[in-house]
Structure formats: structure tokens, C-alpha cells
Amino acid sequence: MGSDENILEMRGITKVFPGVVANDNVDLDVRYGEVHTLLGENGAGKSTLVKILFGLYKADEGSILLRGQPIAVGSPSEAIASRIGMIHQHFMLVPTLTVAENVALGMTSSRRPFTDLDAVSRRVSEISEEHGLAVDPSVEVRRLAVGERQRVEIIKALYRDAELLVLDEPTAVLTPGEVDDLFVILRRMADAGRGLIFISHKLREVMSLSDRITVLRNGRVVGGTTPAQTSREELAQMMVGRTVRLTPEKPVLDDGPALLSVENLTVHGDRETVAVDDISFDVRSGEIFGIAGVSGNGQRELAEAIAGLRGVEPGSSIRLDGVDATGDDTRARRDRGLGFIPEERMRDGAIAEFTVSENLVLVDYGSDEFTSRGMLAFGAIGQHSRRLVDEFAVKTPGIDTPTSSLSGGNIQKVILARELSASPTVLLACQPTRGVDIGAAEYIHTRLIEQRSIGTATILISEDLDEVLGLADRIAVMYEGEIVAIVPAEEATRDKVGLLMAGVVDPAPQTNS
Amino acid sequence: MGDFFTLSVLVATAASAIRLATPYLLASLGETIGQRSGVLNLGVDGVMLLSAFFSYWTVLETGNLWLAVLVGLVTGLAVGVLYGVITVRLSATQGISGIGIFIFGLGLSDLLFRRQVGTPKPVRRLPNVDIPVLSDIPYLGEALFQRNLLTYLAFLLVPATALLLSRTTFGLNIRSVGENPQAADSLGVSVERTRFIAILMGNSMAGLAGAALVLQLGIFQPNLTQGLGFIAVALVYFGAWRPVGVMGGALLYGLVNATVLQWKALGIIPVSGSDLANMAPAVLTILALIVLARRVHAPAALTRPFTRH
């Protein structure tokens, strides 16, 4: 029973923010015992809808029925009292508190005014055992790995006896293996009769976990379906509103000369520990060299070392186009043909308060083209900017618009335009499509492949395994600061690379005696 | 120098160190609560000046010391409401708002003193209260257990504040809104309410600190605190946001102050050097902060106004 009975009905939800209709007459049903996926691009209105459900926003119009009863959720505490749980995209944990304290936060205690942490810990252990969520209640959250923190979030919701659980992009920070574990737990929770709302834009995950799928685009529901009735391609099309090529096509190229050579590179992390441990590789002209790995295994430090933003240890060597660049600063490396698309686009890639035009000349503003007699040549800068905005299809009201008002995908296009217009021989692209719409991601991928065709040596650092598998000619997997394997694209499968990302190196071939 | 290392002088120095530490301790403990909730209050000195003046004026007019203590506390509470509205409700920048509160307190206490009192007149001081049995312990009893009630209260507030922060539900709320207000908000803890109450508690204690200062001295003059409230803020960093650490800082500060006073009285420090010696506590604080304060992390959301988005 129960599976065609609704735990939740949201009817005609409309929410308007200044200048944007975030939700436009949205309907959503969730049944007991099902995983209902909300699929959509960034800004499609998924988060807004569930924030309304959780009492973080107030809908302008529409009604919510929970277990058949109309409710008005005015605050998160009312949502929790109605047994709605939410796992937020960014962990809502206090790192300096223990697991038990994090779970107890916001709950009334049986021993007021004191917290009864012993009782909380006992209950946490029970929940852990019951649902296979191993975690020690007395440990401070800051000492936990990402996967464990996620478990704490789920325990928090279960502790509050949530019957309707919202998971806002819960897999963003997990390894493929951790995602599999999470899905087993989520499926079990649904089978026990809970209703789950799963928010994602990762099509593979949506296809594997969902019972039903509702697709949002520009704040409206554009369709509902089930995994059995649809395909990844069709879902992508519904999300974006046009045909999308999910796997980019790459022409076959001959091997070119090595344009970037990294030898015995050792780099220290922020806490003086070894972050990159004696690694060596070459990237050839016309090659995309993918670096896969779970966040925090030295990729960031590697990228910063290549870009010249982080010092390297003695014995390390970085050569650009055959010339030693180990001691060069960032400017000298750029002059040698290095282009850099940094991971933190708003911190390292662009200046949010600057205009689109200013960000487009952030590297070259001092060249003869853009500066004459110490004064910025606005005519030339404007012309250059307008050309790039057109060429790279940056959606912006104008070149003098503050960059911060653009969407993530368009900011990334600004950075891409700046870096590619300098005709790099070596391109270092870090998480180039993270948080970027499918449409923009498709465009960025196309441009990276174009660069490959004209002979650029590209290092693609990405936590998105599909992206690396789709674009790279060879894939290096980083684990704890080392490259544990370099796999040619033909031999790289999701499973193989996923295992390597978790530090599982192929066992030695079985020998029969 | 030999005169200093006699038992009676050392006991007197210790006693005076504890007395001098009292206003620092009260103010710092209050500031600790506020900062653990993510609110920096640089206006402590202004709060103390106002409460010191109103306490003083109350004794002057009524002769009632306990009414004066209450008035000091209520003054702190009132400024706390103002500061809470400015920083929590209106989300103003805490650093600048705190300096505003300081200047407001400095100016208003000065103005009221000149208009209502004019020239400094001495008033009754807080009497020392001997604690039965304990005060009879040789030397130690004299130094520790023959103090005034506000001093006892200040030191009792150390374990009370520690308990509040580490063991109570409200303390958990305070710590979480100071570290990750978004997380607290997502669990139905009102960040606004928690911070507002923390500010009220902190400012009430700053109010008591002002009362303790003036009622231990028995006299008021413009800018009586001479930056004492700012030192109290520094002591929170010194004490790594922990009540016991803050107490250590307040005692150290009281001890250096008391020693300088004693040495001046004994002629160990020449009169010509006394201005320099007066700087000793401040120099010491700065040195201690440089050495100690690096190892600990401030509450992650300190000074950050909270907004949902």
C-alpha cells in the first residue's frame, strides 16, 4: 500500500525575486516510498522550490498539502516539526562541534537547560546501526571526511524522524564509490516508506536512483517522466530546451611534441604537508591530458604550481615548450604561452566588481594594444571586448556590466574568452564546467576540443568523471598527491577510473603456478 | 626591590591584583559570550563609561550601593538593546558600530558628568566582605576571601559562563551561530534571537564591570576607564574565547597593574618613570597576544552579519 498515496503536494507555487521569476506556477507530487527527482539547470528553480517547502522562503502564490493537510511552513523549525528533513547542498554542520552536538542543535533537551548529549549519542548510535551510517558521535565534525559528514547530515534528519526528505545535490562532493553507498542508503529509506526529493543535474545519477522525474526549466515544470520511459539525452534536451550533445566528438590527431613537461614535481600544501608527491608527466601538442581525482588529493596544488601561484620543492622541474619555467613568475609563464582557467573562478579567475570588459583585458591591459602613454585605450579595449563577447556567446547586457551580475556559465565564458584569445600553447583548465549549465558546458567542451585541434596542449583537471572520460586523450588519476595511474582514453572506463580515484590500484595479475 | 618581596607586601599586591582584575574579568566574560555568538562589540569601553557614570550618580544621589550596581547592569542592558538593534536587526558592520557605541558612551558620560556633577566628589565604595572560615586562612584568606561582592560574582561567573557555553542548550546555540549561522538556521535555531540575547548578556556584564570599576574607586571622572574596555576585548582573544583563559588574562593584567602601583608606592620606580611604567600592562598585552593568539581560531562567523539567501 501507500505507493500511490501522496505525502506531499505542492500546487501552483510561484515565487518572484526582483527581476526573476524563480518559480512559475510549479506543481510537484511526492508519494510515500518513492525517490522523486527534481532535475534542472542552475537557476531553473529547484532550490527555490524546496526552500519554500522548508520554510526558508515564502511563496508568493500557491499551496502546500502535506499528508493531505494544507500547511503553511513559516520557518525551518516548523518544517522540522512537520517531519520534513532537508540535506542542503552545502553541509549545514558546525565543524567545531561534535557529531552529537550537531545532531542536538535546535532540539529541545530532556534535561533543560542542559543538553543531554549522552542520550543524543545513544540515539545516534542506534540510527547509525539501523541504517548503516557508521559515524562516531563524540568526534568533532571538522575531523570527519566528506562522506562521513554527509552521513551526519542524514542522521540529523533521521534523528528528527523526517518522513519527507529533501536532498539538494547531495552527491556533488562524493566519490563515485561514496555515491553508490549513498544511493543504497537512500533507496532503503524510500523502501521504508519515506518520501524523498532528490535534486540533481547529474543525469547518470538521476537515471539510476529516481522513481519519477520532474524537470524544471526557467522556473516552470517542463515535463515529468520515469527512468524507464526516458534517456539521458532526452532529459538533457528537456532541461536545456534544445538538443544537446552529451559526449563531445573529437577528431583523431597525430602525436605532437611535448609542450608541457613536469618532472619530479613536489609541492607543499597550505599546512606544509606534501600535497603533490614527486610526479612527472608530459602533455603533448594536440592532446587533452585529463587529471581525475576526488577533491583534495593534490589537484589544486598541482594546478597552482604549474600556474606559478605556488612554490615548488627543490628538484622539481616544469618546462613550457622545452624551456625551463620552474623559476618563472606567473607573468613570465603566460608570456611563454600558458593559459590558465582557475578552479575558483570568482577568486582567481575574475574580479567580480569589474566590468566584463575589464575582466576580458585583465591579463593584457598593459600591452601596447590596450595602453598608450600610460593611459588605458578604451576604444581598443571596447572593440576587443565586443568581439570576444560575440565570438564566445557571452550572455550579458553589455561589456560594461559588472561581471558579478552574470551567471556562472557566462562568467566562465568571459574567462575562457580571455584565456583563449591569447592563443595559448599550453592550457591549464581546472574544473572548467563546475557549476555551469549544460548548455554552457557543452560550449566550453567544444572550445577545448577546438584548441586541441589547433595544437594546444591542454591539462584538464576535473572532478567530473564524465567530463574527463569524454574529453581526455589520456587520464591521470591523482590520489593522495601521487599519480597512481595514467590510463589511455581507450582503456578508461568509469569503474576502472573510479576505483583508482578511491586509491585502489589494480591488483597484480593472478598467476597460476 | 627587597621591600617588595616581603610577605605582607606580596599579599597586598595579590589582593589589589584581584580587585583590579574584577572589571576586566566582568567585561571580558561578557564579551566572550557575545563573540562566541559571532558578534564583536568594540563598544565595551563606552558601555562601561556610561554604566560607571550612572552607578556613581546613583550612589551620589541615594547612597545606595546595591541600587547603583543594579543601575550599572540596567545601563549595560539598555546599550545592549541599542547595539543589538544596530548589528543584529539592521545588520550593520560590527566594527564601526562598536566604535560608534564607544564614542557615544565617552561623550554622553562626559556631558552628563559635567552637567549633573561638575567636580569629582568621592562616594562610598563597595565594602569588603569576609567569607567565613576561608578568610581566616593565613595570607591566602586576606588576598582572596576579603574582597567585595562584585569580585566574588565576577569569579563565580567564570565557571558559570563556561558551563553555559559548553553544557547548556542555549550555549550550544551560541556556539553554533558563532561558527556556522546557516547551519543553526537550517535547524530552526533563530540566529537573530540567539545573538541578541548573547549581546544583552555581554552588555549587562560590561555594565556590571563599569559599576565595579567606579564603586571600587569611589570616584568618577571623565574617561574613567582609559581604554579598559578595549583591553577587555583584547583579553577575549588572549583567553582564546574560553572563560578560564579570559580569567587568566584578567588576573595577569590585574597583577601587572598592581605591581606597578606597588612599585611606585615603594619607590622602586622613580616618579619620572611612572608614565612609562603605566604602559607596562598594555605592552604586556600586545606581547602576549602576539605570542599566544596565533594558535587559536576565532569563531568562524565573528563579525559577520547573518542573512538568509
Residue B281 clears pLDDT 90, i.e. is over it: no
| A377 is a domain residue | no
Interface with A, mutate which of B177, B180, B191, B241 (most A CBs under 10 A): B180
pLDDT (tens digit per residue) in B199-228: 999 999 999 999 999 999 999 999 999 999
Interface with B, mutate which of A88, A105, A154 (most B CBs under 10 A): A105
Of residues B273 and B259, the one with the higher pLDDT is B259
Residues A320 and A232 in one domain: no
**Interface check B306 vs A, CB under 8 A:** no
Q: Average model confidence (pLDDT) for chain A?
A: 89
pLDDT (tens digit per residue) in B157-169: 999 999 999 999 9
Q: Are A401 and A432 in contact (CB under 8 A)?
A: no
| A272 is a domain residue | yes
**Interface check B182 vs A, CB under 8 A:** yes
- The band of A216, judged by pLDDT with boundaries at 50, 70 and 90, is very high
Chain B partners within 8 Å of A109 (Cβ): 169
Distance from C-alpha of A238 to C-alpha of B95, rounded to nearest angstrom: 49
Residues A203 and A318 in one domain: no
| A472 is a domain residue | yes
Q: Which domain holds residue A488?
A: 258-346+424-501
Residues A228 and A293 in one domain: no
CA A231 to chain CA centroid, Å, is 22
Q: Tell me what pLDDT residue A357 has.
A: 95
B7-292: CATH topology: ABC transporter involved in vitamin B12 uptake, BtuC (1.10.3470)
Q: What is the 3-state secondary structure (H, E, C) of A112-162?
A: CCECCHHHHHHHHHHHHHHHCCCCCCCCEHHHCCHHHHHHHHHHHHHHCCC
Extract long-range pairs of A371-377: CB within 8 Å, 24+ residues apart: none
Among the partner residues A76, A78, A113, nearest to B187 by beta-carbon distance? A76
Q: Tell me what pLDDT residue B294 has.
A: 62
Chain B partners within 8 Å of A80 (Cβ): 187-188
CB contact under 8 A, A86 and B186: yes
pLDDT (tens digit per residue) in A302-314: 999 999 999 999 9
Residues A225 and A271 in one domain: no
Chain B partners within 8 Å of A75 (Cβ): 188
Q: Tell me what pLDDT residue A512 has.
A: 43
**Interface check B276 vs A, CB under 8 A:** no
**Interface check A271 vs B, CB under 8 A:** no
- The band of A122, judged by pLDDT with boundaries at 50, 70 and 90, is very high
Q: Tell me what pLDDT residue B207 has.
A: 98
Asked casually if ipTM beats, i.e. exceeds, 0.90, the reply is no
Residues A298 and A155 in one domain: no
Chain B partners within 8 Å of A101 (Cβ): 172
Exposed e or buried b per residue across B150-188, where buried means at least 16 C-beta atoms within 10 angstroms of its C-beta: bbebbbebbeebbebbeebbbbbbbbbbbbbbbbbbbbb
Chain B partners within 8 Å of A106 (Cβ): 173, 184, 187-189
Residues A231 and A338 in one domain: no
Q: Judging by beta carbons within 10 Å of its beta carbon (0-12, 13-18, 19+), is residue A99 exposed, middle or buried? A: buried
Q: Which of A171, A204, A165 is nearest to A188 (CA)?
A: A165
Chain A partners within 8 Å of B189 (Cβ): 77, 105-106
Q: Tell me what pLDDT residue A20 has.
A: 80
pLDDT (tens digit per residue) in A406-427: 878 889 999 999 999 999 999 9
The residues, ordered by sequence, that sit 6+ positions from A317 with a Cβ below 8 Å of its Cβ are A261, A262, A263, A264, A265, A324, A326
The residues, ordered by sequence, that sit 6+ positions from B80 with a Cβ below 8 Å of its Cβ are B47, B199, B200, B202, B203, B204
CA angle A385, A389, A391 (to 5 degrees): 115
Q: Judging by beta carbons within 10 Å of its beta carbon (0-12, 13-18, 19+), is residue B115 exposed, middle or buried? A: exposed
DSSP string, A426-455: EEEEESTTTT--HHHHHHHHHHHHHHHHTT
Q: Tell me what pLDDT residue A445 has.
A: 93
**Domain definitions of chain B by residue range:** 7-292
Residue A364 clears pLDDT 90, i.e. is over it: no
Q: Are A365 and A385 in contact (CB under 8 A)?
A: no
Nine-digit cell string for A447: 572550445
What phi, psi does B225 have (nearest 5°)?
-75, -30
Instruction: Say how many domains are in chain A.
Output: 2
pLDDT (tens digit per residue) in A424-460: 999 999 999 887 878 888 899 999 999 999 999 999 9
Pseudo-torsion of CA B112, B117, B121, B122, nearest 10°?
A: -50
- The band of B1, judged by pLDDT with boundaries at 50, 70 and 90, is low
Compute the average pLDDT of residues A41-58. Answer: 89
Chain A partners within 8 Å of B176 (Cβ): 94, 97, 105
Residues A184 and A286 in one domain: no
Interface with B, mutate which of A51, A75, A94 (most B CBs under 10 A): A94
Compute the average pLDDT of residues A263-287. Answer: 91
Residues A292 and A213 in one domain: no
| A387 is a domain residue | no
Q: What is the 3-state secondary structure (H, E, C) of B44-89?
A: HHHHHHHHHHHHHHHHHHHCCHHHHHHHHHHHHHHHHHHHHHHHHH
The number of C-beta contacts closer than 8 angstroms across A and B is 73
Q: Tell me what pLDDT residue A290 has.
A: 96
Give the side-chain half-sphere CA count within 13 A for A253.
22
Percent of residues, chain A, with pLDDT higher than 70: 98
Residue type for A71, please?
A: I
Q: Tell me what pLDDT residue A248 has.
A: 73
Q: Which of B80, B103, B82, B52 is nearest to B230 (CA)?
A: B103
Q: Would you tell me which residues 282-301 of chain B have a C-beta closer than 8 angstroms to some C-beta of chain A?
A: 300
Residues A206 and A325 in one domain: no
Residues forming a β-bridge with B303: none
Compute the average pLDDT of residues B236-257. Answer: 91
Q: Tell me what pLDDT residue A513 has.
A: 38
CA B5 → CA A298, B8, B10, B262, distances in Å?
A: 59, 8, 6, 11
pLDDT (tens digit per residue) in A480-491: 999 999 999 999
* Pairing outcome for strands A288-292 and A474-479: parallel
Q: Where does a domain end: A206, A240, A274? A: A240
Q: How far is A92 from chain B (nearest CA, A)?
A: 4
- The band of A506, judged by pLDDT with boundaries at 50, 70 and 90, is low
CB contact under 8 A, A92 and B179: no
Q: Are B228 and B23 in contact (CB under 8 A)?
A: yes
Comparing alpha-carbon positions, the chain A residue that sits nearest to B183 is: A92
CA B283 to chain CA centroid, Å, is 19
Total number of residues shown for chain A? 513
Residue type for A206, please?
A: V
Residues A77 and A185 in one domain: yes
Residue type for B161, please?
A: T
What's A189's domain CATH number? 3.40.50.300
pLDDT (tens digit per residue) in B6-21: 888 888 899 999 999 9
Of residues A171 and A312, the one with the higher pLDDT is A312
Q: Which of A281, A278, A282, A283 is nearest to A264 (CA)?
A: A278
Of residues B138 and A104, the one with the higher pLDDT is A104
- The band of A3, judged by pLDDT with boundaries at 50, 70 and 90, is low
CB contact under 8 A, B176 and A56: no
**Interface check B176 vs A, CB under 8 A:** yes
pTM over 0.90: no
Residues forming a β-bridge with A372: A375
Compute the average pLDDT of residues B260-286. Answer: 79
Q: Are A284 and A270 in contact (CB under 8 A)?
A: no
Of residues B232 and A440, the one with the higher pLDDT is B232
Distance from C-alpha of B82 to C-alpha of B76, rounded to nearest angstrom: 10
